[in-house]
Amino acid sequence: MAREKSKFREYAEAVIIAIILALLIRTFVVQAFKIPSGSMVPTLQVGDHILVSKFIYGIKIPFTDDRFFIFKQPRRGDIIVFSFPDNRSKKECTELSANVMSRLESTWNNRNPFNLLKDDCRDFIKRVVGTGGDKIEIKDKKLYVNDIAVKDAFAVHKDKTHSESRDNFGPKIVPRGKIFVMGDNRDYSYDSRFWGYVDMDDIKGRAFIIYWSWNSKGGWLKKVRWERLGSFLH
C-alpha cells in the first residue's frame, strides 16, 4: 500500500513539475501562435503555426510592465506579436474596435475580407515599420520613413481601387516608447494606419519560425504545407 502511494506521488510530482516547466517556458521563453487571417500574406499564410521568442525584447515580469535582461529593442522589419489595443479595458477595446471597423468597412466598400471581429481584444501579429522618433508617411500606398521611400520586398498590394484612409497617412512622428506596425498584405491589413501606435509594453515577442502549416481548404494530400515547415521569418 505504501509502495502504491509512493508511485502515485512520484507520478503526481512529475506531472506537476512538467506543468510548471511548460508554463515557465510559455511565459518567459517561447510561445506558439496560429495565424488566423491573411493580413501578413505572403510572409504568413492562414493556418501557419509559429513560434515567438518571449525574451528577445526582455523578459517581462508577470502583472507588471517591467522587463529585465533586454537583449534588443524592436526595430524596423521585425515581425512581432502584441496585445491589442494597449492596456485598455475590455469596454474601451470593444468601443475602439467598433469605431475602427466602421472605417474599415468604409475602406473596403462594406466588405470584411478577413472576418475581423468587432468586439474582440486579441493578439495581433504585424511587421514593425517605424519606431520612436521615426517620421511615417504613406502616399498612394508607398511607405516613407524619415522621408525615404522604403523598398518593401515583403509587402504586397492586391486591391487596385483607391481608399484615402488606407492608401494615404501622415506624416506623423512615432512617439517614444511606441512603434508603428503594418501587415505585409497592405491592402487588407488592420494595423496602425487605422488604430494608431503599439505601446512597447504590449509587445509579447518576435516571431522567428514556422513550425507547422495547415491548409484547411486543400485536399487531404495537400493540407500540410511541407515546404513551409521550418521556415525562418525575416
User: Residue 38 maps to which CATH number?
Assistant: 2.10.109.10
Residue 123: inside a domain:
yes
Total domain count, the chain: 1
Residue 19: inside a domain:
no
CB 202 within 8 A of CB 82: yes
Residue 96: inside a domain:
yes
Using 50, 70 and 90 to split pLDDT, how confident is the model at 4?
low
Residue 16: inside a domain:
no
pLDDT tens-digit map of 78-128 = 999 998 765 444 444 444 444 444 444 444 444 444 444 433 457 899 999
pLDDT tens-digit map of 198-224 = 999 899 999 999 999 999 887 777 789
| Residues spanned by the domain of 67 | 33-232
Residue 24: inside a domain:
no
Residue 10: inside a domain:
no
Output b/e per residue, 85-96; b: 16+ Cβ within 10 A.
bbeeeeeebbeb
Residue 11: inside a domain:
no
Residue 108: inside a domain:
yes
pTM higher than 0.85 for the full model? Answer: no
